[in-house]
Structure 1
Amino acid sequence: MSLPSLRHRFGHRIRELRLATGMTQEAFADRCGFARTYMSRIETGGANPSLDAIKVLADALKVDLSILFTDI
């Protein structure tokens, strides 16, 4: 059995960190300035976010960029 793709693992990490803050997906998307549907695609691995979008995610979560890639 192969490992989930990097996009899927990254999305799972974003979801995990978002849930730890207690934010809904919609509230988090608003904080990032993204559409909720785009946020959903990020969290499910359906989107391939740009480096700029990844920085926005880190800033919205108030974490260092490296935290987004820890344990994925």
Structure 2
Amino acid sequence: MKILVSNDDGYQAPGIVCLVETLKKLADVTVIAPDRNRSGASNSLTLDHTLRITEAKNGFFHVNGTPTDCVH
């Protein structure tokens, strides 16, 4: 099973780290989340600049955009 995990609090948020630690015992987990806290960004898409995806040292991917950009 494969699971995609994202959030609006950013890839370093304690909640996403805890969730992934639990889920990876059950499935192949990929994390892609904003590069910083984007709470309240809702369904907004980034249209005014190029999005960059970067892999962090912990294996999570982060995007310089909104939560919706991460899964769109």
TM bin (shorter chain): under 0.3
TM-score by length of 2: 0.24
Q: Based on CA coordinates, which of the two structures has the bigger radius of gyration? A: 2
TM-score by length of 1: 0.24
Q: Which has the larger share of strand? A: 2
